[in-house]
Amino acid sequence: MSFKYTLEIITIIAILGFCALFLCTNSTMNGPVFAGSDSAGSGLIARLSGIPLENFKPLISQWHPPSGEIESCLFAFQAAVGGLMVGGVFGFWIGQKKKA
């Protein structure tokens, strides 16, 4: 039996399973908002400490992206930097292999 594409098949199944789980959660949960777990964690900190969320002040002042769109743009930039690194190296290795 050939195992040539076993990992690819397992990866596709895992991604499809993950998507199915999301759709299932979205349709069965009562109003899931899919906000970040970081925000949920901050909410729990406020509850445990008894300090309202708005009273937590930065110890070191911080720049905030002025809008959600700018934030998405910067996250995309981060992913693009990673993509360039991965793509560049894989391309380099493929070129080296062909040359050899």
Partner 1 sequence: MHIMEGFLPWQWCLVWWIVAIPCLMLGIYQLKKILAKDREALPLLGVTGGFIFILSSLKLPSVTGSSSHPTGTGLSTISFGPWITAVVCAIVLLFQSLFLAHGGLSTLGANIVSMGIVGPLVGYSVYRLLRNTPVNIYITVFLVTALADIFTYVTTSLELALAYPAETGGFFSSFILFLGIFAVTQIPLAIVEGVVLALVFKYIIALKPDILIRLNIFSEEKINKARNEQS
Residues whose CB is less than 8 angstroms from the CB of residue 26 and which lie 6 or more positions away in sequence, other chains included? 32, 34
Least distance in angstroms from the C-beta of 22 to partner 1:
5
Least distance in angstroms from the C-beta of 18 to partner 1:
5
C-alpha to C-alpha distances, 82 to 50, 52, 76, 91, nearest whole angstrom: 40, 37, 10, 14
Q: Is 100 in the site for partner 1 (CB under 8 A)?
A: no
Q: Is 76 in the site for partner 1 (CB under 8 A)?
A: yes
Residues 27, 29, 52, 67: which binds partner 1 (CB under 8 A)? 29
